[in-house]
Structure 1
């Protein structure tokens, strides 16, 4: 029995190494699990922090990717990481000296404007998402005061209008009727700014929301915009022969479609050419089943395209804007053979997916078709209403940012600013 027992008993000399090996193995496994957990935890909490802060973590450019050095310098590398806030979209630009002028009588978003000599006509727009204006305010550049107000027609759109002027008569095309995210109308009106009288013109072939609109070669051109659901881009292009606020035709004529559709673009006629600048595809839509057409966000693509239509009715793609830019329908002026554009919206923050406002002033040089960034606005802002008088660049209204370090939209404003341009 003793011999049998000895056969199945491990000698004491082997017990210690086996125990040590077991302990060492358990330690290695525990260490591996802890390292994995720590790495996962750091990754999860870092991602959470980025989402909450709206920042992007960018490793220092000198950090090595070598596995050996990566492990050894892990803590050191974290020290060298830098956080880029949502202002990543800002472009380098010189400072401009801005003067604050008397604010508009009401704040407005997605309003419209035209300048006729020393008078600035500012149309309608949202006061809040639930309230829209239905009047025109007038600013006099010589006296630098707001000097008048009158109502718009009851059946005219309130926001996202297409507007153009011949120097006396203003043409107002389609746009959105009512607050929140109601659909567009097809109705068209003209205004005699001398008499303040309105006249209704033939409606568009189909309703459009924020179409590119301009007078060119005696015809009122309307193109692009969004279709009835507010989201689907339209590429249709129509024109109507007009003169002195009257339509000389009973129906709109179909023209060559614009290469890319969508709303919120600048449309400028200069040097016998028609330019369509920036814009986007897609926009807010009414929430399905909402009795008040409550706005619901949809995917949008902001672009930097610039198209030119020549006298042969051919579209040409020109050098793009310095960055994608939208909500600039009335944010432009023509100065010294160049187009100046103020503010707008650009691509969304890639982390938070929030809208990013634009705070730069752009110049498009018509002699060589090139772009430059000529200055900064007092703050980032979209749907500015812009004018130029006696060497001064003016802008008013729109929706401004949340502060210098947060380019997301916040307050609807009626501020009026000006800066002296030396171009």
Structure 2
């Protein structure tokens, strides 16, 4: 009996140990599967942002052999994808860090009058917008002077230009997140710091291209009232000494391609419109705070020039598509320099990609080149030039050297000596 009981206990023990062994094997297998899945996911994330400098293509390794790469835009069988969003090769520039702006700004605006850079409005965060002006003095490299904007004035996506004393402020978005635009226009007298009204635009616009040309204030393109649909409209009004000489805006020849966030430059008595995009974030339907919701965007490299006959001509395109550059340019020695911006989205992840180059357009040869590289990629930065130095301040920078996606809104100021 005792011997029989021992055998019975031994059989039960073997059975229990076998079950425990099977359970252990299952747990170990599950652990390795989860680790493999997690590693594969992480590698996919890295691969989707893989950028090879000094190359026309971007190589995305296949994580799972024999399977296609899936994305929001569909399935990609090829391992080599278009590299239009990749960093462009260019000389390394020596950048010197200066005093940071009093507040960080995204989608802010700026004009330079002699040695002063007037910096307006912009987002502090997606839920907070600035409604004041800061001034940077290039002579002593300090920030000083602050005054408020009119309460009715837009806070971002402004059209803006100066004649050397008066600053004309056109339309733009009123409030944080993705709120609606206004058609209101204002003029600032920088000597007296006083504001006055001008006739409103016929309809509101987001980030219209704005410039003074041949005694008239020109406003073109931008986004329509839904913040997404590109506008082709072009209006002008005669102005002098901060006052409108006409009661209504005049309809001009439409711009060939609409959209916001483009540079608008007058050089050699020619009006140029450079880069930009079609589409933008929109307010989420029904959101009480007008929460921003991503929509499709197309960034382009188009350059157009308006001639004396009021006809648009197409000029050589930029080296890469570039947007969010409306206040990121200066003219130096017959060249237009443009700093940073955004380019085409990553073709796999559809995520926004920032630009880290200073692009140069030679007005004599009508050719583009890469003047040099910035300390980091950045969009909606605000640019000035003084005494041989190129300055930029504020904007939204990248996540690091190996990740060109936007992250932190900054107020940092840098400068580099130009040799043009």
**TM class by smaller structure:** 0.7 to 0.9
Q: CA deviation at 1:194?
A: 0.2
Kept after mapping to 1: 8 A contact 2:345/2:352: yes
Which of 154, 158, 183 pairs up with 1:157? 154
Kept after mapping to 2: 8 A contact 1:163/1:173: yes
Q: CA deviation at 1:54?
A: 2.0
Kept after mapping to 2: 8 A contact 1:264/1:280: yes
Kindly indicate whether residue 101 of structure 2 is the aligned counterpart of residue 104 of structure 1: yes
1:209-248 mapped onto 2 (5 Å cutoff): 209-248=206-245
Which of 178, 189, 194 pairs up with 1:181? 178
Q: Residues 165 and 83 (structure 1 numbering): CA distance in 2 closer, same or farther, change over 3 Å?
A: same
Structure-2 residue corresponding to 1:328 = 325
1:239-388 mapped onto 2 (5 Å cutoff): 239-388=236-385
Kept after mapping to 2: 8 A contact 1:224/1:236: yes
Give the gaps of 5 or more residues in structure 1: 1-41, 61-81
Secondary structure class of the residue paired with 2:341: strand
CA distance in structure 1 between the partners assigned to 2:379 and 2:336 by the alignment: 17
Kindly indicate whether residue 388 of structure 2 is the aligned counterpart of residue 391 of structure 1: yes
Structure-2 residue corresponding to 1:58 = 59
Kept after mapping to 2: 8 A contact 1:55/1:83: no
Deviations 1:287-315 (A, max 9, x none): 00000000000000000000000111010
Q: Residues 59 and 298 (structure 1 numbering): CA distance in 2 closer, same or farther, change over 3 Å?
A: closer
Normalised by the length of structure 2, the TM-score is 0.83
Q: Residues 48 and 399 (structure 1 numbering): CA distance in 2 closer, same or farther, change over 3 Å?
A: closer
Give the gaps of 5 or more residues in structure 2: 1-35, 51-57, 62-78
Normalised by the length of structure 1, the TM-score is 0.82
Kindly indicate whether residue 167 of structure 2 is the aligned counterpart of residue 170 of structure 1: yes
Which of 111, 122, 126 pairs up with 1:125? 122
Kept after mapping to 2: 8 A contact 1:51/1:351: no
Higher helix share: 1
CA distance in structure 2 between the partners assigned to 1:321 and 1:180 by the alignment: 30
Kindly indicate whether residue 416 of structure 2 is the aligned counterpart of residue 419 of structure 1: yes
- Which one has a bigger Cα radius of gyration? 1
Q: CA RMSD in A?
A: 2.2
CA distance in structure 2 between the partners assigned to 1:149 and 1:324 by the alignment: 35
Structure-2 residue corresponding to 1:69 = none
Kept after mapping to 2: 8 A contact 1:50/1:351: no
CA distance in structure 1 between the partners assigned to 2:237 and 2:155 by the alignment: 22
Kindly indicate whether residue 87 of structure 2 is the aligned counterpart of residue 90 of structure 1: yes
Give the total of aligned pairs. 360
CA distance in structure 2 between the partners assigned to 1:234 and 1:59 by the alignment: 36
